A and B are shown apart, each in its own frame.
Chain A
Amino acid sequence: GQNIDQPTEMTATEGAIVQINCTYQTSGFNGLFWYQQHAGEAPTFLSYNVLDGLEEKGRFSSFLSRSKGYSYLLLKELQMKDSASYLCAVKDSNYQLIWGAGTKLIIKP
């Protein structure tokens, strides 16, 4: 079966750095996406990785290792507004998006 694992919940301090991990087992791979979802709102697109390595976008970076079936989202200089759920999703060989259950990130002052 297809499976995406990410931690259920993480806590971090304002101004710090946090890394949210995602491991996947899918039938084929056509890219990995990270989304942010604030409570009661729809998800918003953060990043896309299809080749191994690190993609940096401001305070957010996303890393991919296809051989390990592993990705992480790195958030730097955390702000209170970063409190949200972070969803990892993988496109399989049929270009269908497989979603992880999301990681709820709690930022404390």
Chain B
Amino acid sequence: GAVVSQHPSWVICKSGTSVKIECRSLDFQATTMFWYRQFPKQSLMLMATSNEGSKATYEQGVEKDKFLINHASLTLSTLTVTSAHPEDSSFYICSASEGASGNQPQHFGDGTRLSIL
């Protein structure tokens, strides 16, 4: 089946640091990748939709200059949390689908747990 790899799994860093998270589709080409954030005991929140070769579409309330997304190839999208602060601590999860058609599920990476001290 479709496999999505996300790296790193855990990040602990000081306030003000920028953190880059990678999301790769290992055995399929992903025209579209999605970035989610999930706070403890809360539901998934879509942050942005990343399309290969074009600018990401951000959800309302998500700062595009704070969360930089690059989707340079059909198998790789990156999310950079710039100048991270403690309130950015969360579980970040990427997903990818093989196409936009109805029956294509999103396959998720294992997530990145980000802790900003």
Seen from chain A, the residues whose Cβ lies within 8 Å of a Cβ on chain B are 30-31, 33, 40-45, 48, 50, 87, 91, 95-97, 99-102
A-B contact pairs, 18 of them (CB 8 A): A40-B113, A42-B6, A42-B93, A42-B110, A43-B108, A44-B108, A45-B105, A48-B105, A50-B102, A87-B44, A91-B102, A95-B100, A95-B101, A95-B102, A96-B49, A99-B46, A101-B43, A102-B44
List chain B residues, Cβ under 8 A from A42.
6, 93, 108-111
Q: Which residue of A lies closest to B112 (CB)?
A: A42
Among A40, A42, A91, A102, the one with the most B-chain Cβ atoms within 10 Å of its Cβ is A42
Tell me the interface secondary structure of chain A in the complex.
loop
Seen from chain B, the residues whose Cβ lies within 8 Å of a Cβ on chain A are 6, 34, 42-44, 46, 49, 91, 93, 100-103, 105-111, 113
Tell me the interface secondary structure of chain B in the complex.
loop
A57–B105 CA distance with the chains assembled, in angstroms: 16
B96 CB to closest chain A CB, in angstroms? 12
A67–B9 CA distance with the chains assembled, in angstroms: 42
Given contacts A41-B111, A42-B110, contact A33 B46 (CB under 8 A): no
